Amino acid sequence: MSALRSTPHGSRRDRSAIAVKGFLPLLFAGMCWHWARWGIAFLCAFWINEVTDSPRMVQLTGTTMWAPLLFGGALGGVFADRFDRLRTIQWQLALLVPTVAFVGLLEMNNRLSTWIIYPFLLFAGVGWVGDMTSRRALVLEIVGTQRIDNAMAYESFTLASGVAVGNLIGGSVAQTLGVGEAFFVVGGLLLAGFLCLYWVPPRTGVVSAAFDSSSTVQELKEGFALVKTNSGLLSILGVTVVANFFLFSYFPAVQRIGDRLDASPSQIGLIAAMTGFGMMTGSFVTGLWEPKRRGCVYIGGVAFGLLILIPFGLSNSVPMAALALFVAATGGGFFGATQSTLVLTTVPNEMRGRAMGLLSMAIGALPVGTFVLGEVAEPLGAPLAVVLMASLGLVALILWVSTHNQVLRMGRSADAEYPD
């Protein structure tokens, strides 16, 4: 492929995504979704931990919620390329609001059970696929390539704020009012996100293709073919797999580590929220810094996060656990702020939904990683399992980048393979 070059970036004001009509409400809708999604993840893991007291069952909550990314990402990418992306995310939120409220009502009436929690998490995970493939691609469609670095820094910041606020809401509301009431708060966030989408202008010239099985299969094949024909995309996706399998699989284990430290529900929520605050810091720094070697920041963030995750697993107090997780998550912020931008600018416009679908599938390594961590934690304990996964992750990252180093050479969007 011949690389297309665009003119150098203008002023910081010219690169600001905030100035583009429709971006702010789309960003706020995404923020509400991320807050709600992490609130769901925390509340379900907390409830399962209280009921079962099993590391395996707690880790299974993460595995279930993130499984649709692995198994449905490619199909979600086809939907994102064939159908109106704005309508897709509107339907996603419209269906989730009453579902979350129903789960909250069951819990308040002491009728919630594990066989309801896991299907509910699976359904919420399908919504994550829709956000990853449709809303992220819609962001680039609205702001254009010149502003995509700035837009994705905001996106990563809101995702990270979801990790922080979602866990804080889950922990504090569950402790003061109850788990069922906390689910209603989450439903309110989803409703707010749905309303924000009415201020996103519809995209003119977007025509939905007729849905038939033969063309869908063909488009799925074209999406998977990107892995073979685009070595840069393959390099990016491999790093994503390593990060999600080894780095981010610790999320549900925070509940068990908090128990070992005799932390209260609100303290566990605070520890978990450090992931969000750290990622927000990394995203904010990336947005201000606007690194020329975006690929190096992407890989370096994963390596830094894995390294600092080791002292988190070995923490012997709540402050130490919170601080270590904050620092480790800062590396995750560098990784998250550059991930979608790298993928979206490595493929042509008509393939961006499917490329994001492949990214979704790569992120789908997360449920596998959480399952493996849970199985290791069952006999060895969550702290040792986290340390072991982080150590192996560093080795895996070095091996992958040494054999697939294309991402190291990727710079800013001015040097993108497909700038527009």
Q: Give dist(CA 192, CA 350) in Å, integer.
A: 31
Q: Give dist(CA 92, CA 140) in Å, integer.
A: 20
The domain locations on the chain are 17-200+216-415
Sign for the pseudo-dihedral over CA of 313, 314, 318, 321: negative
pLDDT of amino acid 255? 81
Q: Give dist(CA 216, CA 125) in Å, integer.
A: 22
Which CATH number fits the domain 17-200+216-415, given the four candidates 3.30.70.20, 1.20.1250.20, 1.10.510.10, 2.130.10.10?
1.20.1250.20
Q: Give dist(CA 67, CA 185) in Å, integer.
A: 25
pLDDT of amino acid 301? 95
pLDDT of amino acid 214? 45
Per-residue model confidence as pLDDT tens digits over 213-227: 446 667 667 777 888
pLDDT of amino acid 11? 54
Cβ atoms 96, 124 nearer than 8 A = yes
Task: Give the CB-side neighbour count of residue 294, counting CA atoms within 13 A.
Answer: 27
Q: Residue 326 is encoded by which pair of tokens? A: 């904050």
pLDDT of amino acid 325? 94
Contacts 24+ apart (CB under 8 A), 218-221: 219/78, 219/81, 219/82, 219/354, 220/74, 220/75, 220/78
pLDDT of amino acid 311? 94
Sites in the chain below the pLDDT cut of 50 = 1-9, 206-214, 413-415, 419-420
Q: Give dist(CA 334, CA 288) in Å, integer.
A: 12
pTM above 0.85, yes or no: no
Torsions phi, psi for 290 (to 5 deg): 45, 65
Q: Residue 158 is encoded by which pair of tokens? A: 């809101």
